[in-house]
Structure 1
Amino acid sequence: MIHPEHIVVIGAGAAGLMAARELSLAGRKVTVLEARDRCGGRIHPLPFAEFGYPAEAGAEFVHGEAPVTRSLLRESGLSLLPIQGRQWRFEDGKFSQEKSQDTYAADLHQALQELKDDLTVAEFLRRHFAGPKYDRLRHSIERMVEGYDAADPERASTLALRDEWMDGGRSTQARIAGGYGALVEFLTAECRNNGVAIHLGSAASAVEADNGRGVVRCANGDAHACDAVVLTVPLALLQGIALPATERERAKAAAHIGFGNVIKILLRFETRWWVERRMDLADLTFLISGARIPVWWTQHPADHPVLTGWFGGPKTEAMAGLGEPELIEAGISSLAEIFGFEPRQLIRKLVAARAINWAHDPLARGAYSYATPLTRAAQAVLSRNDGSAIFFSGEALYRGRDMGTVEAALASGLQTARNLIG
Structure 2
Amino acid sequence: MSDTSEHIVIVGAGAASLMAARALARAGKRVTILEARDRCGGRIHPLPASEFGYAADGGAEFVHGEAPVTRGLAREAGLSVRTIGGTQWSFDGKAFSRESPRDAYHEKLHAAVKELTDDLTVADFLRRHFAGPEYARLRHAVERMVEGYDAADPERASTLALRDEWMNDGHATQGRIDGGYGRLIDFLAAECRKSGAAIHLGAVVVAIEESGGKVVVRCAGGEEQICDRVILTVPLPLLREIALPAAARTKAAAADDIGFGSVIKLLLRFKRPWWREREELADMLFLLSDETIPVWWTRQDQHHVLTGWFGGPRTAELSHLDPQGLIDAGLDSLAAIFNRPREDIARGLVAAAAANWAHDPFARGAYSWATPQTRAAQEILARADGSVLFSGEALYRGRDMGTVEAALASGVETAGLILQG
TM band (smaller chain): over 0.9
SS at match of 1:403: coil
Moved more, 44-53 or 79-88: 79-88
Task: Pick one of 388, 394, 398 that aligns with 2:396.
Answer: 398
Structure 2 SS opposite 1:151: coil
Give % identity.
Answer: 64
| Corresponding residue for residue 296 of structure 1 | 296
1:418 matched to 2:421: no
| Amino acid in the other structure paired with 1:283 | D
- Rounded to whole Å, the distance in 1 between the matches of 2:92 and 2:266 is 21
Kindly report which structure 2 residues correspond to 1:176-191, keeping only aligned pairs within 5 A, or say none. 176-191=177-192
User: What is the Cα-based RMSD across aligned positions, in Å?
Assistant: 1.4
> Cα deviations across residues 12-63 of structure 1 (Å, max 9, x unaligned)?
0001111101111111110000000000000000000110011010000000
Q: Following superposition of structure 1 onto structure 2, how do residues 239-278 of structure 1 map, counting pairs within 5 Å?
A: 239-275=240-276, 277-278=277-278
Determine the C-alpha separation between the residues in 1 that align with 2:414 and 2:55. Answer: 30
1:104 alignment partner, SS class: helix
Q: Return the offset for 1:215.
A: 1.3
Q: CA deviation at 1:94?
A: 1.4
| Shift, 1:98, TM fit | 3.5
Q: 5 Å matches for 1:262-411?
A: 262-275=263-276, 277-300=277-300, 302-386=301-385, 388-411=386-409
Q: Which amino acid aligns with 1:184?
A: I
2-structure distance, mates of 1:222, 1:210: 16
Question: 1:287·1:297 contact (CA, 8 Å) conserved in 2?
Answer: yes
| Partners of 1:334 and 1:55 in 2: CA distance | 21
Match of 2:95 in 1: 94
Deviations 1:307-339 (A, max 9, x none): 000000001010011111110000000000011
Mean alpha-carbon deviation: is it higher for 209-218 or for 186-195?
Answer: 209-218
What SS does structure 2 have at the residue aligned with 1:271?
Answer: coil
Tell me which residue corresponds to 1:118.
Answer: 119
Q: Could you give the per-residue CA deviations for residues 232-251 of structure 1, whole angstroms, max 9, x where no partner exists? A: 00000001101001111111
Q: Quick one: which amino acid aligns to residue 406 of structure 1?
A: V
Counterpart CA distance in 2 for 1:3 and 1:260 is: 39
Contact 1:212 1:389 in 2 (8 A): no
Per-residue deviation at 1:212? 4.8
CA distance in 2, matches of 1:156, 1:84: 29
Tell me, in whole angstroms, the C-alpha distance in 2 between the residues paired with 1:25 and 1:284: 45
TM-score (norm 1): 0.97
2:35 matched to 1:34? yes
Q: Distance in 2 between matches of 1:231 and 1:285?
A: 37
Which consecutive aligned stretches of 4+ in structure 1 deviate over 6 angstroms post-superposition?
A: none
Q: TM-score, normalised by structure 2?
A: 0.97
The letter of the residue matching 1:206 is A
Amino acid at match of 1:220: G
Would you say the 8 A contact 1:4–1:227 is kept in 2? no
Q: SS of the residue aligned with 2:104?
A: coil
- Hey, what's the Cα distance between the residues in 2 that align with 1:104 and 1:92? 21
Aligned residues: 418
Give the letter aligned to residue 353 of structure 2.
Answer: R
Offset of residue 299 of structure 1: 0.8
Paired residues of 2:102 and 2:138 also in contact (CA < 8 A):
no
| Counterpart Cα distance in 2 of 1:165 and 1:211 | 52
Q: Distance in 1 between matches of 2:210 and 2:163?
A: 40
* Aligned partner of residue 316 in structure 1, secondary structure: helix
Indicate how the Cα distance of structure 1 residues 410 and 212 shifts in structure 2: closer, same or farther if over 3 A, else same. farther
Q: Partner of 1:165: helix, strand, or coil?
A: helix
| Contact preservation (8 Å) 2:4, 2:29 | no
Superposed displacement of residue 419, structure 1 = 0.3
Shift of 1:91: 2.1
Q: Which residue of 2 aligns with 1:62?
A: 63
Give the whole-Å Cα distance in 2 for the aligned partners of 1:393 and 1:5: 19
Q: Distance in 2 between matches of 1:56 and 1:250?
A: 33
Letter of the 1:296 counterpart: W
Alignment check: 8 A CA contact 2:258 2:374 kept: yes
Change (3 A) 1:212 1:409: farther
CA contact (8 A) 1:14 1:40 kept: yes
Q: 1:160 to 1:77 in 2, by over 3 A?
A: same
Change (3 A) 1:210 1:262: same
Quote the residue 2:145 is aligned against. Answer: 144
Give the secondary structure class of the aligned counterpart of 2:150: coil
Deviation (angstroms), 1:90: 1.7
AA of the residue aligned to 1:204 = V
Q: Per the alignment, do residues 392 and 101 of structure 1 end up closer, same or farther by CA in structure 2, a change over 3 Å counting?
A: closer
Counterpart Cα distance in 2 of 1:82 and 1:146: 25
Which segments of 5 or more consecutive residues in structure 2 lack a partner in the other structure? none
Instruction: From the superposition, tell whether residues 101 and 288 of structure 1 become closer, same or farther in structure 2 (CA, over 3 Å).
Output: same
CA distance in 2, matches of 1:91, 1:371: 29
Aligned 8 A contact 2:93 2:337 in 1: no
Query: 2:5·2:30 contact (CA, 8 Å) conserved in 1?
Result: no
**Which residue matches 1:216?**
217
- CA deviation profile, 1:256-308 (whole Å, cap 9, x unmatched): 10000000011111111112x313333221111221111111111x1211100
Partner Cα distance (1:99, 1:147) in 2: 14
Deviations 1:61-118, CA, capped at 9 Å, x for gaps: 0001111101101111100111122222222421223444533221211111111111
Specify the alignment match of 2:9 in structure 1. 8
Once the 2 structures are TM-superposed, how far is the Cα of residue 178 of structure 1 from its aligned partner?
Answer: 0.4
Gaps of 5+ in 1: none
What corresponds to 2:86 in structure 1?
A: 85
CA contact (8 A) 1:4 1:420 kept: no
Please state how far the C-alpha of 1:210 moved relative to its aligned partner. 4.5
